[in-house]
């Protein structure tokens, strides 16, 4: 199933097409407004986007931290304590 934003975009494009079919002037005005909204949306998404090298979200940062800590624990258990892995399931 598609993300709801694609349904909204498709409905907006269909509305512009219907308006352009009814009256070209209304269609051009609606297309201009739609383009203005799209431009504002792109500008806002670029402004709020994470910097290069930063995690996409707090969730991905926590997942990466969990993986790192799990790897460190596993390494410490095998090297320092001589622990034999018993095959416990990992959370990926």
The 3 state secondary structure assigned to the chain is: CCCHHHHHHHHHHHHHHHHHHHCHHHHHHHHHHHHHHHHHHHHHHHHHCCCCCCCCCHHHHHHHHHHHHHHHHHHHHHHCCCCCCCCCCCCC
**43 and 21 housed in the same domain:** yes
**15 and 54 housed in the same domain:** no
What confidence tens digit (pLDDT) does each residue in 65-87 have?
Answer: 999 999 988 888 887 665 555 55
What confidence tens digit (pLDDT) does each residue in 12-55 have?
Answer: 999 999 988 999 998 899 899 999 999 999 999 888 877 776 66
Cα–Cα distance for residue pair 8/2, rounded to 1 Å: 11
Cα–Cα distance for residue pair 28/42, rounded to 1 Å: 21
pTM, entire model: 0.50
Expressed as residue numbers, the domain containing 57 is 50-87
Asked if residue 92 is part of any domain, the answer here is no
Asked if residue 31 is part of any domain, the answer here is yes
């Amino acid at each position: 199933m598609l993300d709801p934003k694609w349904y909204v975009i498709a409905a907006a494009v269909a509305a512009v097409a219907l308006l352009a079919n009814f009256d070209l002037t209304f269609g051009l005005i609606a297309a201009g407004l739609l383009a203005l909204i799209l431009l504002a949306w792109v500008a806002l998404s670029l402004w709020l986007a994470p910097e290069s090298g930063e995690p996409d979200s707090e969730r991905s940062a926590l997942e990466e931290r969990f993986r790192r800590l799990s790897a460190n624990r596993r390494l410490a258990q095998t090297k320092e304590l001589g622990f034999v892995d018993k095959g416990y399931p990992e959370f990926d």
